[in-house]
Amino acid sequence: MSCDLRAKERSGIINPIFTCQPCGAQYVSIGIKDCIAIVHGGQGCVMFVRMLFAQHFKDNFDIASSSLHEDSAVFGATGRVETAVDVLLARYPHVRVIPIITTCSTEIIGDDIEGVINKLNNGLLKEKYAGREVHLVPVHTPSFKGSMISGYDVAVESLVKAFAEQTTPNGKINLITGWVNPGDVTALKHLLAMMQIDATVLFEIESFDSPLMPDKSGVSHGETTVEDLKDTANAVGTIALNRYEGGKAAKYLEKKFKVPSVIGPSPIGIRNTDTFLKQLQTMSGKPIPEALVKERGIAIDAITDLAHMFFADKRVAIFGAPDLVISLAEFCIDMEMKPVLLLLGDDNSGYKKDDRIKALQANVDWDMEIIMNADLWELDDRIKNKGLKLDLIMGHSKGRWAAIDNHIPMVRVGFPTYDRAGLYRHPVVGYAGAIWLAEEIANTLFTDMEYKRNKEWLLNVW
């Protein structure tokens, strides 16, 4: 009867859950309109990440590399950044924003990115591209610190820092979504529209799910503009849905521009969505319309149809991004499931102080483990060698082998989910997300019942 929060004891990693910091920064960069990031490092730092994006969205995104070579490693590589910016601007006439994302190698060499940007601003941009609006933004994401989650956090903060400037109040709300899918953004914007709230969504990635239009338009790229980013300083308030993905930027805006901020919880499940709507209500002063109460009712109806009959006492393991994992655990508890193992892929000193984890520790009445800095071997090892019994695994596609090898049903959530079709289209946030999650979990369990011939007759009479 305990909930144990601790770091993994073994050194080294076997099958990591997360990718490193530049990956998060690159995810942020593709959310901005007319923006192509330059990753200052080896080519692999871009290629692997682009490959992940291409697998997840089945669509590809432009990210450039400064293609570091061994001579640069010896003599410094700032020259390659200069060439890269030049080549990029010449090739892509629409580019306005170029975040320069550092990697482990260039951070170790100690390339002075701010210096190069200064030099470029005064030299190349003035001479060769005079009259063209180009913003170069330094993003420091060495991969020996943190993970892709902290990389996302750092990049949002860097971009907001670079652009935000106070002019006239605009009465909008900043909504920092954190690392979500296009489907989530659609669901969040739906909630905002129902409450008639004007908001700046960071980042507007709905268009990652791009249509094939007759006129061949429709490139998958984010829609957040430079103006949106500048305007963040003039908002009524900031809501950062995920504490570890965008929380830093919200705090920065509060400190620098006195924009009040609310951080978390991620609106996954009924309770958290209720909290989110109440936050919106307090911040904007607008009422929550009856239509949303109806939507909430539909979601609750969908869940109650399933909860005690199929979900009760099911033992779940969840891995992935900290905010997602914790919120999913809360959602599972609401449905009488028992999350027995939570794996957080990185080691953040903030986890120990997190209220949500503290609440879990106070309320859980079964044995539950929360492992920080975990890898997928922690999950595999527990199932194979330590006798952990699981009824369900929730997490992203990299953990699929733990599910396949051990014959445990798995629900794919998070990033990346490349082994199921179109998951980026479905939300996990809001009431729509609660319905999708509950039904996805139920259907996965149903398929498993049929496959294993385990009380599959139950569904005859359900």
Compute the distance between CA of residue 251 and CA of residue 157 in angstroms, rounded to an integer: 9
Beta-strand relationship, 392-395 and 368-372: unpaired
421 binds another protein (CB under 8 A): no
Q: Quick one: which of 3, 23, 162, 185 contacts another protein (CB under 8 A)?
A: 23
* DSSP, residue by residue, 345-372: SS--GGGGG-HHHHHHHHH--S-EEEEE
Q: For residues 2 and 60, which CB has a smaller minimum distance to another protein in the complex?
A: 60
Tell me which residues in 86-105 interact with another protein (CB under 8 A).
86-88, 91-92, 103-105
Q: How far is the CB of 325 from another protein (least distance, A)?
A: 18
Q: How far is the CB of 326 from another protein (least distance, A)?
A: 21
Angstrom CA distances, 154 to 9, 44, 178, stand at 27, 21, 12
3-class DSSP state of 450? helix
Alpha helices in 316-416 (DSSP H): 322-334, 355-363, 376-384, 400-406
Q: How far is the CB of 82 from another protein (least distance, A)?
A: 9
Token representation of residue 191: 């909630």
Binding-residue total with another protein (CB under 8 A): 76
Q: Quick one: which of 11, 167, 168, 460 contacts another protein (CB under 8 A)?
A: 11
Q: For residues 103 and 266, which CB has a smaller minimum distance to another protein in the complex?
A: 103
Q: For residues 18 and 331, which CB has a smaller minimum distance to another protein in the complex?
A: 18
Tell me which residues in 288-347 interact with another protein (CB under 8 A).
none
* DSSP, residue by residue, 120-174: HHHTHHHHTTTT---EEEEE---TTSS-HHHHHHHHHHHHHHHH----S----EE
Q: For residues 43 and 443, which CB has a smaller minimum distance to another protein in the complex?
A: 43
Tell me which residues in 364-383 interact with another protein (CB under 8 A).
377
Q: Quick one: which of 16, 190, 207, 456 contacts another protein (CB under 8 A)?
A: 16
Q: How far is the CB of 409 from another protein (least distance, A)?
A: 17
Q: Quick one: CA dihedral 426, 429, 432, 438, positive or negative? A: positive
32: Cα separation from own chain's centroid: 15
- Of 197, 29, 44, the residue nearest 97 (C-alpha): 29
Tell me which residues in 112-171 interact with another protein (CB under 8 A).
142-145, 147-148
Tell me which residues in 42-81 interact with another protein (CB under 8 A).
42-52, 54-55, 58-60, 62-70, 72-73, 80-81
Q: How far is the CB of 376 from another protein (least distance, A)?
A: 9
Tell me which residues in 255-294 interact with another protein (CB under 8 A).
none
Alpha helices in 30-112 (DSSP H): 44-57, 70-75, 78-91, 104-109
Q: How far is the CB of 456 from another protein (least distance, A)?
A: 28
Q: How far is the CB of 3 from another protein (least distance, A)?
A: 26
Site string for another protein, 25-44 (x = CB under 8 A): -----------x-x--xxxx
18 binds another protein (CB under 8 A): yes
Scored b (16 or more CB within 10 A) or e, 22-31 reads: bbbbbbbbbb
Q: How far is the CB of 317 from another protein (least distance, A)?
A: 16
Q: What are phi and psi of 412, to 5 degrees?
A: -85, 120
